Amino acid sequence: MDPQANDRAQLPRNMIENSMFEEEPDVVDLAKESNLNPLESDDVEYEPRSSRLLVRGLGEHDLDEDEEDYESSAKLLGMSFMNRSSGLRNSGSNFRHTQEGLCPVPSARTVIVCGVVVVIAISIVTVVYLLPKCTFTKEGCHVKNHSMELIYPIASNGKVFPWAKNRLPHSVLPLQYNITLHPNMSTMAFTGLVQIKLNVTENTKNIILHSSGLHITKASVLLEGKSLEKVEVLEYPAFEEIAVILPEPIIKGKECILSLGYSANFSSSYYGFYKVSYMDGNSSRWLAATQFEPLAARKAFPCFDEPAFKSTFLIRIKRNEEHISLSNMPKIETTTVADGVLQDEFSTSVAMSTYLVAFIVADMKNVSKETNDTMVSVYAIPQKMDQVQYALESAVKLLDFYTKYFEIKYPLKKLDLVAIPDIQAGAMENWGLITFRETTLLYGENISSVMDKQEVTMVIAHELAHQWFGNLVTMEWWNDVWLNEGFATYMQYFSLQSAFPDLNADDGFLKQRFKALEKDALITSHPISTDVQSPQHIEEMFDDLSYIKGAAILLMLKNYLSEDIFHFCIKQYLNNYEYRSATSDGLWESMNLITQSNPDMKNLMKSWTHQAGYPLVTAIKKGKEIHLSQERFLRTNNPTENSSTVWHVPLSYITSDTSETAFKNVYLLNDVKDKINLTSENSWVKFNVRMTGFYLVDYGDEGWNGLIGQLNSDHTVLHSDDRANLIHDIFVLGGVGRVPLTKAFDLLSYIVNETNVAPIRQVIHQLSHIHGILDKRGETLLAGRVMHNTLDLLKNQIKNQSWTDEGTLSERELRSTLLDFACSYDFTDCTSKAAEWFDKWKNNGTQLPTDVMKVVYKVGAKTEEGWGYLFEVYASSMFETEKLKILEALASTDNARKLLWLMQESLRGNLIRSQDLHRIITFISRHVPGYLVAWDFVKQNWDEINQKFQPGSYIIQTVVTKTTYQFSTETYLNEVISFFNSTSGKSRDMWCVKEAIETIKMNIQWIKQNLDSIKNWL
């Protein structure tokens, strides 16, 4: 899945609240035999008091007074010893401390008697609490029934639910689903019938599977041609599970068919089987679509909703004549089942996970093209069919590329790409039926920019890569979601650089790696392979680390092994696990078959997947020797957190005596300290060539001076990626006091001669962040001088930009970046030119160059008339890329009422789609006073936001981090902590909340360390 394509945190999913992890049990189980307890000691999960009873040796209907007496007896007996022994201790103490004559000293006889009493009490408690197979009740000690000696929850109807974990048992395995659905677009509800063929792997009387929000209307089990009578269905909503209770056990090795009829309403969120409204002229239309990743297939049909439970699917959908239906597989027949109602049947799928199942009922059109026996089609609503051709040509080209590169044929006969008018994720890789935001699939000539084209192509490349990484080979559990998303992200950039070199994908990848480094330098970061169980944390796994860090370590590995060996390795992995599930260890073991364990891939890469963070490598040049050391880098500069972590770091480097094209000097640093011997003494050494490694480098004072000298004398000796890397590293290190910030400003002196977008973009990013922190803490004059100095550094490059669409992608991106920056900070020449273009566009209909369209809109939105006109254009435009640019312009106003209105409308989802709420909040939070309006809006509407979007999802992550990331005072720190502590549910436990709090603390520390250096520079 691509979580949010435009922001490129490749991404985004869960709504159930799981309070099973923190609540204490009502009573303590007296049984101590581990073999009698289905929840292992490190695996026990409890439910809140309001919905759970503990069942120990009692029948389902015998839990009333006896259970209360049992609990009271156990508690009373347990406390009696504590109180008695405590009383004895207190008495002894009192004897020693009372005044003489008031209390006698205890005799030896008294001490002996007390000791005997204590021994007797201990013996009784031991018998009651520790005697195996015995439960103490008011009737005495009874031998317990082993089969009931479990901690079980209570189902919604009050009966005992026969399973107590949030992961399903493996006593039955699904082989095939037959699903018949009837979505009713008038009542906004659907009915369904699912028949699941099951393989019984253990003797069992219960079938446990997932179901959420579905009303089960009938249930039956067919065993050896005979229908079992008296089948009962129990529901446990806290884990979104149901249990089908059979009248008699099914023997291991048998197969049976479970049939469940059900009904439900369409989801009003973006999760499950949900409804979407859109305008067709002046009338409103509806369609229904699905979003199942990670845990929402259970909201559309009862199923074994975990990625390792792969199965085949045969799907039938009933619909009205004015609609079409789509699913993963090609349609094989359509039959009339009632007056005006048709049923489409789709061919049986390949084995796949439930989260990849998809279906759509809508009024859509398509264009198609066949390649390698696969029909590729792009679908959109009828009025936007003029924007689908580029996506079709790109998809065909990329499908051919992947088929050839992986040497594994795409296994389905069709591949549909569907533009959904309203969808939370940037895109979703459903096998054979990929869904997209309209902004990430549709491309309009003369409206969409070259950067829009790059974005559309990248998202298509990402989702097509998933057809192999994720669909053909699936991670076994969500702890390894990086196997899906990291590989898909890596392949999107690799495929674009190979098949679309003019789109300059490498530069985009560099920008994203900087972004991941920023997130992973926090104490609150997490390993990309980390244990997750709760729905909220599963959602949060779809973040920049799983996507971008996952892709970055693959890039680093490719450069270390060589492209050819890496290519062989990933082909081996795909062949080893096709149609199956894999783990991180499985990937490294497959690669070891190619490398012959030289190097041992598991040993090499485990430090990158199972540890949070990344190393700071210090490289000090002493003559011909480079003395190396490594430690975990943290932006909070906390030495207690980074002392013991070691990575296997493939260090690439060039020197003043070697050209960038002549390297490959690579040294594997796998210890805390080491050294490299050079063949000659060099004036400088640059590590992490083209920033293909995921680490920072500190060169020491002399080393930085040598590199700064080279940049000032001839910066082109170093690749533009290396120049951007140096700017990034020195500012990050300067921020935590590892390098004087004044040295970072010294390095910037060369920028007046820079012409490449990557270094200039990095300068703007670093200095804009400094400006934002200063501006939002009231240091207005100081913040203004930061921007004045930045504009002074870049003024020549800004003046050299033309207001056209000419040049290479890199040149055009540089134009957009510089002009947007200049106009945003009121560089007079820029704003006056943009205002001229706006007036010509508004009054005369002059076509705007797409590279500067957003810049012109933002300047035009500064006036009341211009803002109103832009919203009119937004409301009538059929081009989503244009609408997104207008939204950013509307959100750049200083009018607080307008800013609040934009967020309110987006939350309602009428005039502005809710899918864009997080973007609007991000745009508004960038400046003053918008950030205050945005933060207040989030606080006041937090509950509604969490109802519309899944807790922990990428949109929630964005809302939390972007509204708070430039707070830098104790007041705001306390306010953020207090707010999230006061929210219902588990908001305060989300990783993004912890990240936001740590970032504010880091900003406070940054100000304390660097304010004087900023003043000196200015």
Number of other residues whose CB lies within 10 A of the CB of residue 289: 25
Query: What are the phi and psi torsion angles at 436 (to 5°)?
Result: -135, 155
In terms of phi and psi (left: phi > 0; alpha: psi -120 to 50; beta: otherwise), the region of 891 is alpha
Question: Using an 8 Å Cβ cutoff, are 594 and 572 in contact?
Answer: yes
**Tokens (6 digits) for 87:** 């009383």
Q: Active site residue: 47, 240, 429, 463, which one? A: 463
**Tokens (6 digits) for 402:** 């992947």
Stated length of the chain: 1018
Closest CA to 833 of 805, 812, 810, 852: 852
Q: What amino acid occupies position 546?
A: S
For 78, the 3-state DSSP assignment is helix
Question: Using an 8 Å Cβ cutoff, are 723 and 759 in contact?
Answer: yes
Question: Using an 8 Å Cβ cutoff, are 825 and 798 in contact?
Answer: no
- Rounded to an integer, what distance in angstroms lies between the CA atom of residue 298 and that of residue 565? 41
- Rounded to an integer, what distance in angstroms lies between the CA atom of residue 100 and that of residue 122? 33
Question: Using an 8 Å Cβ cutoff, are 338 and 319 in contact?
Answer: no
- Rounded to an integer, what distance in angstroms lies between the CA atom of residue 486 and that of residue 490? 6
- Rounded to an integer, what distance in angstroms lies between the CA atom of residue 501 and that of residue 219? 56
What residues does 259 pair with on adjacent strands?
195, 220
Query: How do strand 341-346 and strand 414-420 relate by DSSP bridges?
Result: unpaired
User: Please, what is the Cα angle at 399 between 395 and 400, to 5 degrees?
Assistant: 120
Long-range contacts of 561-566 (CB under 8 A, 24+ apart): 561/595, 565/594, 565/595
Query: What are the phi and psi torsion angles at 468 (to 5°)?
Result: -100, -55
H or E segment and range at residue 651: strand 649-655
- Rounded to an integer, what distance in angstroms lies between the CA atom of residue 604 and that of residue 630? 16
Number of other residues whose CB lies within 10 A of the CB of residue 742: 14
- Rounded to an integer, what distance in angstroms lies between the CA atom of residue 677 and that of residue 120? 75
Which residues, other chains included, contact 361 with Cβ-Cβ below 8 Å and sequence gap of 6+? 183, 185, 287, 288, 317, 319, 323, 324, 325
Q: What share of the chain is helix, strand, coil (3-state, %, to 5)?
A: 45, 20, 30
- Rounded to an integer, what distance in angstroms lies between the CA atom of residue 814 and that of residue 651? 30
Reply yes or no on whether 100 is catalytic: no
Query: How do strand 312-320 and strand 172-184 relate by DSSP bridges?
Result: parallel
Query: How do strand 580-582 and strand 615-622 relate by DSSP bridges?
Result: unpaired
Q: What amino acid occupies position 741?
A: L
- The DSSP secondary structure of 6-55, one letter per residue, reads TTTB---------GGGTPPPSS------GGG-SS-TTT-----GGG----
- The DSSP secondary structure of 293-328, one letter per residue, reads TTTTGGGTS-B--STT--BEEEEEEEEETT-EEEES
Torsion over CA of 109, 113, 115 and 117, rounded to 10 degrees?
A: 180
**Tokens (6 digits) for 249:** 């056990």
- Rounded to an integer, what distance in angstroms lies between the CA atom of residue 613 and that of residue 244? 45
For 361, the 3-state DSSP assignment is strand
For 677, the 3-state DSSP assignment is strand
User: Please, what is the Cα angle at 250 between 244 and 256, to 5 degrees?
Assistant: 75
**Tokens (6 digits) for 482:** 């990086």
Residues with catalytic roles: 463
